Structure 1
Amino acid sequence: MNTTTLTVQSCGNGKFRLGVNTNDSSTIFQKRYRKVVLKIEKNRVIDTETTCGPPNDKEVLKNKKCKKGYDLYAKKIDQWIKSNHFHCYRERQPTKIEFQIIKSNSTIILKFTGNTRNNRCKCYN
Structure 2
Amino acid sequence: LTLKKLTEKKSVLDKSKYTVINCKPVIVNSNGGKVITSIDVSFKNDLKLTDDAPQSWLVDLPDSTWSCVPKNGSNLKNINLVISVPLERDAKDNFADIVFSLVTCTRETCLPKSFIVRLPVAYSKDA
Same fold per TM (> 0.5)?
A: no
Quick check: which one's strand share is greater? 2
Larger Rg: 2
Query: Which is helix-richer, 1 or 2?
Result: 1
More relative contact order in 1 or in 2 (CA 8 Å, sep 6+)? 2
